[in-house]
Chain A
Amino acid sequence: MKILVAVKRVVDYNVKVRVKSDQSGVDIANVKMSMNPFDEIAVEEAVRLKEAGLVSEIIAVSCGSTQSQETIRTAMAIGADRGILVETEAELQPLAVAKLLKAIVGKEQPDLIILGKQAIDDDSNQTGQMLAALLNISQATFASKVQLADGKAIVTREVDGGLETISINLPAVITTDLRLNEPRYVTLPNIMKAKKKPLDILKPEDLSVDVAPRITTIKVAEPPTRSAGVMVADVKALVDKLKNEAKVI
């Protein structure tokens, strides 16, 4: 069984981004970039399924700039066997990425596609569901547990108010939530090994996919700031403020 994992290069989750003064976007020049944390969980899950003997090959795919090769190499250091980069400097929106991934799925015919539930830059939470729809296959989003058996996946999902377990027919798309697993640290020997793994580079044109954006960003602004209020001396003063000033209790 073959798994395809999609990985995205994003601003590292520890970086506090700054909005550009001309409001054209956020400043990502000279900022640390990393693999989207949810995608790291996706790669880890695929590698664990392989280590359990259920999977024979893991392909890591990324769509984006040439530097996304680094992200694919990281996926390989975790344990992906080979990589595909769909290289473009153009802005890619979720629908375009889903179409690119659909084209790759058409070539590679994986049984399972695992993606992060959302990227921590645009916070869209769309690509996995869109890919499943374009392929007319089932999906299990926000997964916190995955089991494979008899051409199906049994997936526990994090939903409002608790957990839901569903069964999906393979091939299928799974998107990962935070608690699915804890990704391993990549070791130096594995980083060295990853450098030798095959990585193919394609262009969107090679896949005949139109990646033109459908949504225009008019401006990007700082969120309204909330200013600090007052410090109160003790619990009595707090209760007094809440009762008589804020009138919320």
Chain B
Amino acid sequence: MTILVIAEHDNLSLKAATLNTVAAALLCGGDVHILIAGYQADAVAQAASQIPGVSKVIHADAPHLQYQLGENLAEQILALTAGSAYSHVLAPATAIGKNTLPRVAAKLDVAQVSDIMKVISADTFERPIYAGNAIATVQSGDPIKVITVRTTGFDPVANAGGNAVIEKISAVADSAISAFISKEINQSDRPELSAAKVVVSGGRGLGSAEKYHELLEPLADKLGAALGASRAAVDAGYVPNDYQVGQTGKIVAPQLYIAVGISGAIQHLAGMKDSKIIVAINKDADAPIFGVADYGLVADLFTAIPELISELG
């Protein structure tokens, strides 16, 4: 059995989601290869070769792979799976992974198992359904298992100590049916939300965008935390969409999750309930968020947060 992992990267660096995905791949058993499809991504290939447990890095480099558009990336993967060299194809359940892998599965005429959170055996996996309100154990009967991995379900493997060979392969032709135009990435010096050790998240209880920034930014600075938000706060325009933690936003599982003025809709809980320690600060003692919090504080957040910041020193 040989398993192909699709690396998550931006042509400059290998993203942490790759390490969680390799962890899932190793649990499936077998040799693990990593595909880097990008443009001028040699540094990424180098980084991938350092991952312990990876036996080969496959690097396809071409201008039309720069933005990893689904059509081209899927064809690049299919060029490798031809001849059933691989028993599994795994990608993290990121925007790129979710966009691309079903194309691969459909072309191979196999099902895809989405968003696995546990590997039971090489063909059996656990995955959430109904927004995480039920966990299905599913078995794939297809010859090639095409899988996206919920990264928070797997502890990352190390990113150093390995010594895999790097094999350059030729890129597939450009499908030329889609083209990249532009990207607006929200600039921030904070850690990436889905990979942060500490997340400070705000809800509608904050009342306004101004209060969100005024109260939560200094707290996040103090803790070296990423900032998140409930869907209600995003819909109210306090912060951009990609701050949203929840079933329809980011799934996070930090060491510490601080929910400020968040009531705790099922939708939101689905995105953060695997956090190690959850702190809830809310003035409503009946808020559902307290049902999942390790530490709950019923307080007016407009006084509690400044106090918390000063207590943290």
Known: A168-B177, A216-B139. A248 touches B276 (CB 8 A): yes
Among A126, A161, A169, A217, contact of B185 (Cβ-Cβ < 8 Å): A161
Q: Does B211 contact A (CB under 8 A)?
A: no
Contact call A242/B139, Cβ cutoff below 8 A? no
Give residues of chain A (152-207) contacting chain B, Cβ–Cβ below 8 Å.
154, 157-169, 172, 178-179
Interface size in chain B (residues, C-beta < 8 A): 84
**What are the residues of chain B within 8 A of A229 when measuring CB–CB?**
278, 293-296
Known: A17-B133, A236-B311, A239-B312. Contact between A130 and B178, CB under 8 A? no
Cβ distance A17 to chain B, nearest Cβ, rounded Å: 5
Contacts of B128 in A (CB 8 A): 123, 223
Segment of A58-66, A73-81, A83-91, A138-146 engaged in the interface with chain B: A138-146
Of all chain A residues, the one with the shortest Cβ separation from B290 is A228
Stretch at the interface among A1-9, A49-57, A92-100, A105-113: A92-100
Chain A residues, Cβ within 8 Å of B94? 160
Query: For residue A165, which residues in chain B have a CB less than 8 angstroms away from its CB?
Result: 181-183
Interchain CB contact under 8 A, A217 and B138? yes
Q: Mark B136-149, 1 if CB is under 8 A from A, else 0.
A: 11111110000000
Which chain B residues border A221 with CB–CB below 8 Å?
134-135, 137
* Pair B106/A95 contact, Cβ less than 8 Å: yes
Q: List B140-193 residues whose CB lies under 8 Å from chain A.
A: 140-142, 175, 177-186, 192
Of B182, B256, B273, which contacts A242 at CB under 8 A? B256
Contacts of B307 in A (CB 8 A): 235
Q: Is A234 an interface residue (CB 8 A)?
A: yes
In the complex, what residues of A have CB within 8 A of residue B114's CB?
123-126
A215 & B113 in contact (Cβ 8 Å cutoff):
yes
Across the interface, do B134 and A160 meet the contact criterion of CB distance under 8 Å?
Answer: no
The answer for the CA separation of A92 and B233 in the assembled complex, in Å, is 36
Tell me if A's interface is mostly helix, strand, loop or mixed.
Answer: mixed
Q: Are A223's CB and B106's CB within 8 A?
A: no
Which single residue of chain B is at the shortest CB-CB distance from A135? B106
A235 touching B299 by the CB < 8 A rule? yes
Given contacts A140-B178, A242-B277, whether A123 and B99 have CB atoms under 8 Å apart is: no
The answer to whether A241 has its CB under 8 Å from any CB of chain B is: yes
Residues of A within 8 A of B84 (CB): none
Binds A, one of B18-26, B54-62, B68-76: B68-76
Pairwise interchain contact B69-A166, C-beta atoms closer than 8 A: yes
- Contacts A130-B106, A179-B241, A217-B137 given; does A231 touch B194 at CB 8 Å: no
* Closest B residue to A93 using CB positions: B111
- Interface contact A125-B182, CB-CB below 8 Å: no
Using known A-B contacts A129-B70, A142-B99, A215-B138, determine if residue A166 contacts B181 with beta carbons closer than 8 Å.
yes
Q: Is B297 an interface residue (CB 8 A)?
A: yes
A120 — nearest CB in chain B belongs to which residue? B131
Contacts of B240 in A (CB 8 A): 162
Q: By the criterion CB–CB under 8 Å, are B112 and A126 in contact?
A: yes
Q: Which chain A residues border B99 with CB–CB below 8 Å?
A: 129, 139, 141-142
- What's the minimum C-beta distance from A159 to chain B, rounded to whole angstroms? 4
B295 A235 Cβ-Cβ under 8 A? no
Q: Report whether A162 and B184 are in contact in the complex, using a CB–CB cutoff of 8 Å.
A: yes
- Do the beta carbons of A216 and B105 come within 8 Å of each other? no
- From residue 111 to 127 of chain B, which have CB atoms closer than 8 A to chain A? 111-115, 124
Instruction: Give bound CA distance, A220 to B255, whole Å.
Output: 28
Chain A hits for B102, CB < 8 A? 94, 125-130, 133
List, in ascending order, chain A residues with CB within 8 A of B70's CB. 129, 132, 139, 141
Chain A CB within 10 A, most for which of B107, B178, B247, B279 = B178
User: Which residues from B are CB-within-8-Å of A142?
Assistant: 95, 99
Which one of A126, A132, A238 contacts B297 once the chains associate, using CB atoms below 8 Å?
A: A238
**Is A11 among interface residues, defined by CB-CB distance under 8 A?**
yes
In the bound complex, do residue B134 and residue A217 qualify as a contact, i.e. CB atoms below 8 Å apart?
Answer: no
Find chain A residues with CB under 8 A from B104 CB. Answer: 133
In-complex Cβ contact of A217 among B67, B136, B295 (8 A)? B136
B137 adjacent to A219 (CB under 8 Å): yes
A residues near B, CB below 8 A? 11, 16-17, 19, 26, 93-95, 98, 120-134, 137-142, 144, 154, 157-169, 172, 178-179, 213-223, 226, 228-232, 234-236, 238-239, 241-242, 246, 248-249
Given A167-B181, A235-B308, 9 other A-B contacts at CB below 8 A? A120-B130, A129-B101, A132-B70, A139-B103, A165-B182, A167-B179, A168-B177, A239-B312, A242-B277
Q: What 8 A-B pairs have minimum CB-CB distances, sorted nearest first?
A: A129-B102, A229-B294, A130-B106, A214-B111, A133-B103, A133-B106, A159-B95, A126-B102
